[in-house]
Chains A and B, each alone.
Chain A
Amino acid sequence: YLISLSFQQRIEIHKLREGENLILGFSIGGGIDQDPTQNPFSEDKTDKGIYVTRVTAGGPAEVAGLQVGDKIMQVNGWDMTMVTHDQARKRLTKRNEEVVRLLVTRQSLQKAVQQSMMS
Chain B
Amino acid sequence: MSAAMDTESTYSGYSHYSGHSKKAHRQGRDRHKSPRSKDGSRSEKSVTIQTPPAEPLLGNDASRAEEGQDDNWGETTTAITGTSEHSISQEDIARISKDLEDSVGLDCKRYLGLTVAAVLGLLVFLTPIAFILLPQILWRDDLEPCGTVCEGLFISVAFKLLILLIGTWALFFRQPKADLPRVFVFRALLLVLIFLFVFSYWLFYGVRILDSKDTNYQGIVQYAVSLVDALLFIHYLAIVLLELRQLQPMFTVKVVRSTDGESRYYSLGPLSIQRAALVVLENYYRDFTVYNPALLTASKSRAAKHMAGLKVYNVDGPGNNASGQSRAMIAAAARRRDSSHNELYYEEADHERRVRKRRARLVVAVEEAFTHIKRLQAEEQQKAPGEMMDPREAAQAIFPSMARALQKYLRTTRQQQYRSMESILQHLSFCITNNMTPKAFLERYLNPGPTLQYDRDRWFSKQWTLVSEEAVTSGLQDGVVFVLKCLDFSLVVNVKKIPFIKLSEEFIDPKSHKFVLRLQSETSV
Q: Is the interface of A mostly helix, strand, loop or mixed?
A: mixed
- CB distance B525 to A28 under 8 Å? yes
- CB distance A34 to B521 under 8 Å? yes
Is B518 part of the contact surface with A, judged by Cβ < 8 Å? yes
Q: Which residues of A are found within 8 Å of B519, using beta-carbon distances?
A: 33-35
- Minimum C-beta distance from B517 to chain A (A): 9
Is B320 part of the contact surface with A, judged by Cβ < 8 Å? no
Is A82 part of the contact surface with B, judged by Cβ < 8 Å? no
Q: Which residues of B are found within 8 Å of A38, using beta-carbon distances?
A: 518, 520
Q: Which residues of A are found within 8 Å of B524, using beta-carbon distances?
A: 23, 26-28, 54, 56
Q: Is the interface of B mostly helix, strand, loop or mixed?
A: loop
- CB distance B525 to A29 under 8 Å? no
Is B523 part of the contact surface with A, judged by Cβ < 8 Å? yes
- Minimum C-beta distance from A93 to chain B (A): 5
Is B522 part of the contact surface with A, judged by Cβ < 8 Å? yes
Q: Which residues of B are found within 8 Å of A92, using beta-carbon distances?
A: 525
Number of residues in A with C-beta < 8 Å to the partner?
19
- CB distance B520 to A34 under 8 Å? yes
- CB distance A53 to B522 under 8 Å? yes
Is A101 part of the contact surface with B, judged by Cβ < 8 Å? no
A35–B520 Cα distance when bound, in Å, is: 6
* 8 Å CB contact of B525 from A30, A35, A39, A93: A93
A62–B246 Cα distance when bound, in Å, is: 85
Chain A, Cβ-Cβ closest to B521: A85
- Docked complex: B2-39 residues within 8 A CB-CB of A: none
A92–B525 Cα distance when bound, in Å, is: 7
Q: Which residues of A are found within 8 Å of B522, using beta-carbon distances?
A: 27-29, 53-54
- CB distance B523 to A35 under 8 Å? no
- CB distance B520 to A28 under 8 Å? no
Is A73 part of the contact surface with B, judged by Cβ < 8 Å? no
Chain B, Cβ-Cβ closest to A40: B520
Q: Which residues of B are found within 8 Å of A93, using beta-carbon distances?
A: 525
Q: Which residues of A are found within 8 Å of B523, using beta-carbon distances?
A: 27-29, 85, 89
- Docked complex: B50-107 residues within 8 A CB-CB of A: none
Q: Which residues of B are found within 8 Å of A23, using beta-carbon distances?
A: 524-525
Q: Which residues of B are found within 8 Å of A53, using beta-carbon distances?
A: 522
Chain A, Cβ-Cβ closest to B518: A35
- Minimum C-beta distance from B80 to chain A (A): 81
With a 10 A CB-CB cut-off, give which of A26, A27, A93 has the most chain B CB atoms: A27
Is A24 part of the contact surface with B, judged by Cβ < 8 Å? yes
- CB distance B525 to A89 under 8 Å? yes
Q: Which residues of A are found within 8 Å of B521, using beta-carbon distances?
A: 29, 34, 85
Interface string of A33-57 (1 = CB under 8 A from B): 1110011000000000000011010
Interface string of B505-525 (1 = CB under 8 A from A): 000000000000011111111
- CB distance A24 to B525 under 8 Å? yes
Chain B, Cβ-Cβ closest to A39: B520
- CB distance B525 to A26 under 8 Å? yes
Interface string of B459-495 (1 = CB under 8 A from A): 0000000000000000000000000000000000000
- Minimum C-beta distance from B514 to chain A (A): 16
A39–B519 Cα distance when bound, in Å, is: 10
- Minimum C-beta distance from B327 to chain A (A): 60
Q: Which residues of A are found within 8 Å of B525, using beta-carbon distances?
A: 23-24, 26-28, 89, 92-93
Q: Which residues of B are found within 8 Å of A29, using beta-carbon distances?
A: 520-523
Interface string of A1-34 (1 = CB under 8 A from B): 0000000000000000000000110111110011
Extra inter-chain contacts (9) besides given A30-B520, A35-B518, CB under 8 Å:
A28-B522, A29-B522, A34-B521, A38-B518, A53-B522, A85-B521, A89-B523, A89-B525, A92-B525
6 contacts between A and B (CB under 8 A): A28-B523, A33-B519, A34-B518, A34-B520, A38-B520, A93-B525
> Which residues of A come within 8 Å of B, CB atoms?
23-24, 26-30, 33-35, 38-39, 53-54, 56, 85, 89, 92-93
